[in-house]
Chains A and B, each alone.
Chain A
Amino acid sequence: MLEIKNLHATVDGKDILRGIDLTIKAGEIHAIMGPNGSGKSTLSYVLAGRDGYNVTQGDILFNGQSLLNLEPEERAREGIFLAFQYPVEIPGVANATFLRSAVNAVRKHRGLADMDAMTFLKTAKAKMKQLQMDEKFLQRAVNQGFSGGEKKRNEVFQMAMLEPALAILDETDSGLDIDALKIVAEGVNALRSPERSAMVITHYQRLLDYIVPDVVHVLSKGRIIKTGGKELALELEAKGYADIVADAA
């Protein structure tokens, strides 16, 4: 599904990603772990096509097609979803309005008719129930005045509505208490299917107790320095990054 080949990227002229190779097959969940400043968030932005994140070498193939020339919205419509580490507030725009525009933009791209308001509401309410979110969130402005945990839950709610082929979760666990973490993880797990994949970026092994990854990668200084199974996360938790980074060096 996703093939990252020798990916180099710069931000403001600085090399952040220095040759990443990574393949995620359909149905797999990969965890990306690593110390601060290792390039985890940059990787997520590069995948999503954010302006200012420049690919200088290598390629990203999504279902065999290179993403490099696609705009962020085109990548989104192709099925790439990024759950933001810091979800953005959009004052005055109701969550429901925003999300319905998003759902219909994606549906249009897939040649489907617009989802009518009734169906949208019904679907949204069902998904919110799963995530134990109050229906009032639909009428509140996007992320405005939301607590940290509410914002993260809202990201997962959007993801559930958009049903992406590849979900990238950028530190979705940060700022969540353990109960919220479980609910969010359940939301992600509910989307698991042989056709869907996910890339879970996290500092802590804790999240991976609930979203069990098939593969764990350790990122350091813009390179993947170690890859293993889910037990690698436990090892990291026990030893800390320093040892692994030192081993790899």
Chain B
Amino acid sequence: MAANAQTIETVEGLAGEYKYGFVTDIESELLPKGLSEDTVRFISAKKGEPQWMLDWRLRAYKAWLRMAKEKGEPGWAKVSYPEIDFQDIHYYSAPKKKTLKSLDEVDPELLATYEKLGIPLKEREILAGVAVDAVFDSVSVATTFKGKLKDLGIIFCSMSEAVREHPELVQKYLGSVVPVTDNFYATLNSAVFSDGSFVYVPPGVRCPMELSTYFRINEAKTGQFERTLIVVDKGAYVSYLEGCTAPMRDENQLHAAVVELVAMEDAEIRYATVQNWYPGDKNGKGGIYNFVTKRGACRGARSKISWTQVETGSAITWKYPSVILQGDDSVGEFYSVAVANNAQQADTGTKMIHMGKNSKSTIISKGISAGKAQNTYRGLVRVMPGAAGARNYSQCDSLLIGDRCGGHTVPYIEVKNRSAKVEHEATTSRISDDQLFYCRQRGLSEEDAVSTIVNGFCKEVLQKLPMEFAVEAQKLLGVSLEGSVG
């Protein structure tokens, strides 16, 4: 016990600073703080949106006002934070230069920022096989590989562009998985979403590269409201990567994104996230509030949606990437690593809604808690009456580091069909002094020892990530747990 406490102190002494904590000095076009119908109109006008989009936003805004009045923010998650003043937030900011024909026109400072983050925005992309739709604050500044994708009939562009260029697709699918009135934050997002990515893969096309987007919050006090929509038609396939880091900031920043996925018959979508928003300092000051709604619909038979997430950042994470298994024999997967260190709070998990016959879902969740962090897995498995032969397997493992943190597992299981099979396993373990000493006796530093043990714990999830992401995620786990561990 004494040894354990000592170890914790030693490691805390090593506490690393947030590596990506820098701020880019770019003139931003900033809308004054506050939220009103005028804010919504301003954003829509700024983007040159058609009337139907504005109407959609306004409908959402009105619904949100009702929600705010009646119930306020949802209070059921195991997280606590001071009430958010939604009038004290900027709802729009954009880098000033906007119409760019090539990378040469991109603000050099912006490029330097990407450079620091290791985002391949130049020829390196070709080697890496990654097309990047880089979202800097609210406006997409550079989109690459469009030509190559276009030849295949794949649309990969910013949401703003999609609203203008592909209104029929956007109108058909936007809000079809996460309805305008789904929940408080999703509704807010629907009213004021700034930008995001849009992907459409036509029938039978296998997207030959990993599509990826990097998000980054830069402007102080700017809420980020990304909106992403991915539609994969019959027999098509896409793998999408989303990764983010944010600069160090003293004030809490709200991030309320919505991601919708639609998979038609025999289609497959793999969506991987590495989330590394600024988590706040050791005492919980600052940091991002990450209130995200991510949901996929397996519309067609034999369709498949797979979510993989590595969540290491944010002061508060509230996120449940879900799958609605409508098609017969459809498959939903959720692989998650959630790290909460110092004063971080994470309440994350998934929902698997089985509607189609013989639909299958797998949930593998690895929660790591250190410092005085609270980490909750919250997951729903619901089998509807028509989902004969549905199967679910859930495994939720918690790893505790030190003795001041908490790991919680809250499974909800609702089965309304007798032929369904649902399994749930959960474990809680601790990094032992034995393991640490064993690693150190072999020459590994204490930090490397912790990183090694944690990476082993998360292996099942990490190996689901695309190669380049897996390497990054492994490093990130080490960095996130630096100075918190014992």
Contact = CB atoms under 8 A, between A and B. Distances in A.
A76 B457 contact: no
B64 to A, nearest CB: 43
B437 A92 contact: no
Contacts of A88: 432, 434-435, 437-438
Nearest to B453: A90
Interface string B413-447: 00000000000000000001111011111111110
Contacts of A72: 437, 440-441
Interface stretch (B2-10, B13-21, B264-272): B2-10
B456 interface: yes
B435 A158 contact: no
Contacts of A23: none
A60 to B, nearest CB: 15
A73 B3 contact: no
A90 B444 CA distance: 14
A102 B443 contact: yes
B444 A91 contact: no
Interface in B450-474: 452-453, 455-460
Contacts of B457: 91-92
A93 interface: yes
B435 A90 contact: yes
Interface string A45-68: 000101110000000000000000
Contact of B444 (A52, A73, A87, A158): A73
A162 B443 contact: yes
B442 A98 contact: yes
Contacts of A51: 3, 6-7, 433, 437
Nearest to A109: B443
A102 B442 contact: yes
Interface residues of B, number: 27
Given A51-B7, A101-B452, A92 B459 contact: yes
Interface residues of A, number: 31
B437 A50 contact: yes
A158 B435 CA distance: 16
A84 interface: yes
A77 interface: yes
B182 interface: no
A106 interface: yes
B453 A93 contact: yes
Contact of A73 (B433, B435, B440, B456): B440
A151 B193 CA distance: 56
A105 interface: yes
A235 B121 CA distance: 75
11 contacts: A52-B2, A72-B441, A76-B443, A81-B441, A88-B434, A89-B435, A92-B458, A93-B456, A98-B452, A102-B443, A105-B448
Given A52-B3, A105-B443, A105-B448, 19 more contacts: A48-B441, A50-B3, A52-B2, A71-B446, A73-B446, A76-B441, A76-B443, A84-B441, A90-B435, A90-B452, A90-B453, A90-B456, A92-B459, A101-B448, A102-B443, A105-B442, A105-B445, A141-B456, A142-B456
Interface of B: 2-3, 6-7, 432-435, 437-446, 448, 452-453, 455-460
- Smallest CB-CB A-B distances: 7 pairs: A92-B456, A93-B456, A105-B443, A52-B3, A92-B459, A51-B3, A102-B442
Interface of A: 48, 50-52, 71-73, 76-77, 81-82, 84, 87-93, 97-99, 101-102, 105-106, 109, 141-142, 158, 162
